[in-house]
């Protein structure tokens, strides 16, 4: 179950790192006569920064768990878990780190 939470957090990180820093994703929401205008890109970026370290720790733990399971059982499911879930999260972390420090700073 935790693998899907990691994946759910990693996908927006990958999406953010594919666009330039000044991108505007304006969202207008009307609820009960009140309107909210927001920049979705800004909120996803702030969420990604807040979740970077927790995702880093959980990805490292999942990679170790999947690698030890693969070395013990050598099944296709363990290889898929290691290759897909761990590597997608690692790629998201790497791309966000590269995006922040090369394009923004």
Return the axis-axis angle of helices 2-17 and 87-99, rounded to nearest 10°: 30
Residue with tokens 């050598």: 74
Tens of pLDDT, residue by residue over 45-103, are 999 999 999 999 999 999 998 889 889 988 888 888 888 888 899 999 999 999 888 87
Identify the pLDDT of residue 30: 86
Tens of pLDDT, residue by residue over 2-51, are 889 999 999 999 989 888 888 888 888 888 888 888 888 988 999 999 99
* Gap between the Cα atoms of 19 and 59, Å rounded: 24
This prediction has a pTM of 0.80
Residues 8, 23, 89, CA angle at the centre, nearest 5°?
25
In the chain, where the domains are located: 2-15+38-104
Q: Is 88 in contact with 66 (CB distance < 8 Å)?
A: no
């Amino acid at each position: 179950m935790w693998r899907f939470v990691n994946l759910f957090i990693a996908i927006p990180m990958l999406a953010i790192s594919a666009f330039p820093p000044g991108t505007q994703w304006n969202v207008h929401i009307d609820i009960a006569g009140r309107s909210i205008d927001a920049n979705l890109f800004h909120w996803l970026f702030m969420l990604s920064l807040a979740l970077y370290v927790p995702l880093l720790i959980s990805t490292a733990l999942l990679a170790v768990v999947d690698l030890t399971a693969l070395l013990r059982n050598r099944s296709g499911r363990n290889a898929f878990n290691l290759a897909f879930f761990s590597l997608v999260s690692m790629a998201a972390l790497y791309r966000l780190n590269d995006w922040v420090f090369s394009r923004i700073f």
